[in-house]
Structure 1
Amino acid sequence: MTFFLRITIAAFLSLPFSTSFAVTSKEPLPPIRIAMIDGMSAAFTNAGEAVQRNLQIAIDNINARGGIRLPDGQHPLSLSVFDNKQGVEESLTLLRQVTDQKIPFVVQGNSSAVATALIDAINKHNQRAPDHRVLFLNYSAVDPVLTNEKCSFWHFRFDAHADMRMHVLTEVIKDDSRAKKVYLIGQDYSFGRQVGKSARTMLARKRPDISIVGEDLHPIGKVKDFAPYAAKIKASGADTVITGNWGNDLTLLVKAVKEAGMNVKFYTFYANGLGAPAAIGDAGIGRVRAVAEWHPNVGGKASDDFYQAFRKRYPLAKDDYVHLRMQLMLEMLARAIEQAKTTEAAAVARALENASFSNGFHQALMRAEDHQLLQPLYVSVMQKKGDAGTRFDNEGSGYGFKTERFFESGLTALPSSCKMERH
């Protein structure tokens, strides 16, 4: 060995350890960003915060497994939250910020009016900017038009739409011989109007003997006192109320009906959380029903483990509103990105089409023709915690929901009129 070579090796070995380690270490790969555009303030703060919790735990679970595997390595997921104050114009302004930042995935759900505007805007953006296209994943906007006339290759819905939910609710009402007079009440926007229309159509076909004794649409998120609406329901003689209300609009409605001393049945989309069980109290036992893709008292070890992992992460009673579909959505997205080997929107969209999901207690399939997720639905009835079938309560209220009817995904699927332009 020459003197020069010995000096060179000795000099290298004498370098500080940190310097020699830096030569072989890798910088962390950039995160795959997801933009949540939804209401995080004002009347629907609690609904937006519930969504954020469900998305974040799903992201944390994926990242704990190492993140998303792409050809250049494993990337973490990250969530950026944009408060649209439940406004359409605010949402479109925020979407421009998202596209300026080149965030490839947008998630939203707590307004069908917002979802409709986002679909139109994303269609136009993706045509203008083919190198930075965006994919829209919808977790709660359930106006059926979004996967029918307004369907888009760039939009996927992970919740059952309003007609699917109403279909299973009216299947239960069909067998309820005590339901004779129905009152319809909802929020005055596309979703609320569709719920009323769907209820009328399906009840006329399934139970023509039922009378619709009243119908109201009220401003979304603006009514502070529902006593006048409760008085109208009482005066109508209704024995059953059907509502798609959510958030504070549902909680304040059921409080007003309770305070008016009525003993009516509620068939709802969302009475199993966000303060509603506590507001209803004993008056809801055996009388209030909700429809969802899952609820904590489904039963079985896999379902119990899923729920208890959420409660361990979010132990406060006020945070106890678990949405399986939101966590399912991100799991399916993660698998689609890995299958596509890219975050490019069109490639991920094609990977999502016909993708299936199974976690040991829930199975779902993304229908390619309209990008509507097909999954089972439960109609559950409110009970006291500890009653048969009600091991868990909701939000520490002392009241929970037990399964009344279970509908396989084949029974919840409805035809679509979508004529999609594919990419």
Structure 2
Amino acid sequence: MHFTIKMMAACAALACAGAAFAQSGQTVKIAMIEGLSGPMGPVGTNQLKSWQYVAEHLNAAENPAGIKFEVVPMDSKSSPQEALNLLKSAVDQGIRYVAQGNGSNVGVPLSDAVGKSNERNPGKEVVYINYAAVDPALTNEKCNYWHFRFDADLTSFMKDQKDIHKVYLVNQNYSHGHQVAKYFKEGIERNRPDVKIVGEDYVALGQVKDFAPYVAKIKAAGADTLVTGSWGQDFTLLVKAMNDAGLAIPIYAYYAGVTGTPTALSQGKIAEVYQIAYNHSNYTGRMGELTKGFKAQYNDDFYTFSVYNGLVALSDAMAKTKSTDPVKVAKALEGLRFEGFNGETQIRATDHQSQLGMWISKWQKIDAKNSYNLENTGYTFAPVKYLEPYIASTPTSCQMKRPS
């Protein structure tokens, strides 16, 4: 009898041990629903490579669950409707994690569709990993339990720049562009009421080929500073038009290091360019290793560090729950603290916004201290100032509806 009980206890212990490590070596698919073709295709393609590279190179500490992440590319062509069709396809294929970032015009409806799909299909829940769509609505009035944002929230960063007097705003004509303008105007009015906004334009996302008319308006307005939240082709073509017109006023931007823009900057005389982002070009340590390894493999720049945080957080949550079930993983992600690329990072439980510090970095020629060569231009974004997460954090009005 005692022997039987001991055998049963031993078997139970083995079963528990098996359950604890059931996910080790398991493959988890992540559907990357992104614009991989069209005007913004080069950015999406870079980020696809980023997801795949990081997934392949996570070490044991970064991947405590021992998961093999397989990133499945799905080209939305930057279309919201196509993205929703691809979400349905991913669910039908049994994929339970989706990633998207380029464009809140896609991110907002995708988040809503994920929530509705999960309500209609219990047992087929999906977690949405948002690595770049920064519309504040996603973590405020349109917050969704199944959505987790690993990019930073918008913040103000120009109050201490005393040379700014006349600002021109150029942004893309969708939710993100309007939010950049809104937040900037609110911040400047509060912190620098002496600054005058002398002009404001919105451009159709990925549609404008000639930015010369916009540059002419900036010059005519007498602006001494340009502020933009634009990215990809739109920012690159704007810089090229500034170069052609000989307009070399300072630029303050969120995405100056994104594919194509560093090359355009290096071909002109715009010396003062500041980028506000959760990272910069010259990390050392682990992120320096990944950045250099990515460059060696693809001859391209790794700049979407939120991909790293997304994968590390997923593995950490899976290790804690001993499961890859998205229902359990989503619960574990709420309030999760993990070691991100800027040190300890937390996913705020109230709205699922990662609490990230922010870097102000400046465009300059590479030197001994800042040697990372962006797009092989001989230039880099060197760190100037770091804003701790508690400073960069923004409040939330999210009233999240959680599943019962």
CA offsets 1:59-100 (integer angstroms, 9 cap, x no match): 1024x7599777xxx652211110000001111111110111
**d(CA) in 2 for partners of 1:337 and 1:303?**
23
**TM-score (structure 2 length as normaliser):** 0.89
Query: In the alignment, which residue of structure 1 is the partner of 2:14?
Result: none
Give how far 1:120 is off. Answer: 1.2
More helix by share: 1
The offset of 1:259, in angstroms, is 1.2
For the Cα contact (< 8 Å) 2:243–2:267, is it kept in 1? Answer: no
Q: CA deviation at 1:305?
A: 2.6
Shift of 1:285: 5.8
Q: Does 1:308 align with 2:292?
A: yes
In the alignment, which residue of structure 2 is the partner of 1:60? 56
Tell me the residue number matched to 1:178: 163
Find 2:224's aligned residue among 228, 239, 245.
239
TM-aligned CA deviation for residue 361 of structure 1: 5.0
How high is the sequence identity, in percent, across the aligned residues?
39
- Partner Cα separation in structure 1 for residue 62 and residue 309 of structure 2: 16
Whether the 8 Å CA contact 1:363–1:376 is kept in 2: the answer is no
CA–CA distance in structure 1, aligned partners of residues 29 and 267 of structure 2:
44
Q: For 1:368-379, what aligned pairs fall within 5 Å after superposition?
A: 368-379=349-360
Q: Where does residue 367 of structure 1 map in the other structure?
A: 348
Task: Give 1:119 shift.
Answer: 1.2
Separation of aligned partners in 2, 1:203 and 1:67: 40
Q: Which residue of 2 aligns with 1:204?
A: 189
* Root-mean-square deviation (Å): 2.0
Distance in 1 separating the partners of 2:189 and 2:109: 32
**1:163-174 matched pairs, under 5 angstroms:** 163-164=154-155, 167=156, 169=157, 173-174=158-159
Deviations 1:187-220 (A, max 9, x none): 1011111111111111111100000000000100
Name 2:144's counterpart in structure 1.
152
Shift of the 360–325 alpha-carbon distance from structure 1 to 2, 3 Å rule, reads: closer
Q: Alpha-carbon deviation of 1:129? A: 0.7
Aligned to 2:18: none
Q: Distance in 1 between matches of 2:130 and 2:341?
A: 23
Deviates more, 1:151-160 or 1:286-295: 286-295
Structure 1 window deviating more from structure 2 (337-346 vs 370-379): it is 337-346
4+ residue runs of structure 1 moved beyond 6 angstroms? Answer: 66-70
Question: Which deviations, in whole Å up to 9, do the C-alpha atoms of 1:148-196 show, x marking residues without a partner?
Answer: 00001100000012x33xx2x2xxx222221100000111011111111
Would you say 1:277 and 2:257 are equivalent positions?
no
The answer on whether the counterparts of 1:376 and 1:407 sit within 8 Å (CA) in structure 2 is yes
Q: Is the 8 A contact 1:68 1:77 kept in 2?
A: no
1:286 to partner: Cα distance: 4.3
Q: In 2, Cα distance between the equivalents of 1:61 and 1:369?
A: 32
C-alpha distance in 1 between matches for 2:174 and 2:317: 33
Out of 184, 187, 200, the residue aligned to residue 215 of structure 1 is 200
The total of aligned residue pairs comes to 380
Q: Which has the larger radius of gyration?
A: 1
Which blocks of at least 5 consecutive residues in structure 2 are unaligned? 1-23
Of 66, 77, 86, 1:85 maps to 77
Alignment pair present for 1:44 and 2:28: no
CA distance in 1, matches of 2:28, 2:286: 29
1:296–1:392 CA contact under 8 A, matched in 2? yes
1:105 aligns with 2:97: yes
Assess if the C-alpha contact under 8 Å between 1:92 and 1:121 holds in 2: yes
Partner of 2:386: 406
CA distance in 1, matches of 2:63, 2:260: 36
| TM-score (norm: length of structure 1) | 0.85
Instruction: Give, in angstroms, the shift of residue 418 of structure 1.
Output: 0.4
Deviation at residue 346 of structure 1 after TM alignment: 2.1
User: One-letter code of the match for 2:96?
Assistant: P
| Unpaired runs of at least 5, structure 1 | 1-27
Counterparts of 1:210 and 1:115 in 2: how far apart (Å)?
33
What is the letter of the counterpart of residue 242 of structure 1? V
| Alpha-carbon spacing, 1:193–1:361, altered in 2? closer, same or farther (3 Å) | closer
